Amino acid sequence: MKTLPIMLLAGFAACSIPAIAAAQQASVPAARLEQVAAFPHQVTGVTVAEDGRIFVNFPRWTEDSPVSVAEVMKDGSIKPYPDDGWNSWRNARKDEMTAVDHWICVQSVVADGRGSLWVLDPAAPAQGALVPTGPKLVKIDLKTNAVAQTIAFDETAAPQGSYLNDVRFSPDGKYAYITDSGAKGALLIVDLAAGKAKRLLDGHPSTQPEKGLVVTADGKPVRRPDGRGVEFAADGIALSPDGKTLYWQAIKGKTLYRVPTQALVAGFEDGKDVASSIEPYGENGVADGLIIGRESGHMYVSAPEEDAVKIRDLAAGPSAKPEMLVKDARLRWPDTFGEGPDGTVYVTSSHIQDSAFYKPGAPASLPTELWRIVFDKAADGTAPKP
């Protein structure tokens, strides 16, 4: 795999006290990007299974994507997953096809580390109207490559206007936690064994876009031709390695929020108040994807305004700021993270600012990429990871 040259930034910019600046910069090891694959369509989600297999997904946003979920092969090509049938949906044929057993508009894929790949389908092509019976969370057995479970969401969990965005799974495999970045942000908790979901924090300030904030790219506001800017609600989501704390934030937002997962479970099982358990946990700045390293416990933060990936030491408290890890002009809208079994972090660049949503002259089929972050080796030959 050829290593692509990039511009690297580590730590914060130098401050007035050199010793502090040096310490800050030394806290983040030097990193670089390697391109894993390039796609002719707009990618969002990526995940890596415990056996090293890589999966990605392509939502139906500005085109009727020919493939929705795919496995990335070793040569960078893609294979429809789990088969051609699940990927055969076409918008023009929606009256002829059943929505519950086809990929409609997949936004996220996540391997649970327990032998399964889960696919989150908000079923809202072009982020518009939901296709009836389409919103679902689907479990695929990685050994047999066969669908093992489908959890369909009714309109109490995924109402019209919703756009289920990303998902995390409790370490014991009992629950899934989902963000809704649609017209009215919310979180969902899903009892996986029972196949039941409950919508929580619907309309709560922590799940909504922050008023007055303008998302930029290339130094300019990202706006549609009618003047609307980026309005995505609760989007990025991350779960602590012990499964006890859930983090999330809106794309149109700078604030990171967290809540004990036991509060979410209590809200699901007993209807107890969840809002009183929420804690604002400092600012990440405008961010899309989030992930917490299994070993380090550090949070990786996508920074689409800066074509960058940052990293944050959560143990340092809410006042700690994300530090620059890697910055590259080609990392256009870093979107979703996945962590491999060896700790390697992968990230997609979805080029949202270049899409026909915001640039009417752009092609419907938008080329995008998948990258991995590689840390430079130390003098002893080891590769440090933050």
User: Which residue shows structure tokens 């917490």?
Assistant: 292
Q: What is the pLDDT of residue 4?
A: 35
Q: How far apart are the first and last CA of the chain?
A: 23
Answer whether residue 27 shows pLDDT above 90.
no
Q: What is the pLDDT of residue 261?
A: 98
Residue 148's DSSP bridge partners are: none
pLDDT tens per residue across span 325-349: 999 999 999 999 999 999 999 999 9
With the C-alpha atoms ordered 36, 42, 44, 45, is the resulting torsion angle positive or negative? negative
As a dihedral over the C-alpha atoms of residue 249, residue 253, residue 256, residue 258, rounded to 10 degrees, the angle is -50
User: Which residue shows structure tokens 């899934």?
Assistant: 176
Answer whether residue 98 shows pLDDT above 60.
yes
**pTM, full prediction:** 0.92
- Find, among 233, 289, 301, 237, the residue nearest to 264 by Cα: 237
pLDDT tens per residue across span 180-196: 999 999 999 999 999 99
Query: Is the CATH number of domain 18-373 1.10.630.10?
Result: no
Per-residue pLDDT band for 13 (boundaries 50, 70, 90) equals: very low
Give CA 297 to chain center in angstroms: 17
Q: Alpha-carbon Rg of the chain, whole angstroms?
A: 20
Phi, psi dihedral angles at 346 (to 5 degrees): -110, 150
Answer whether residue 165 shows pLDDT above 90.
yes
Answer whether residue 57 shows pLDDT above 80.
yes
CA 16/CA 7 separation, integer angstroms:
24
Q: What is the pLDDT of residue 21?
A: 31
Q: What is the mean pLDDT of the chain?
A: 92
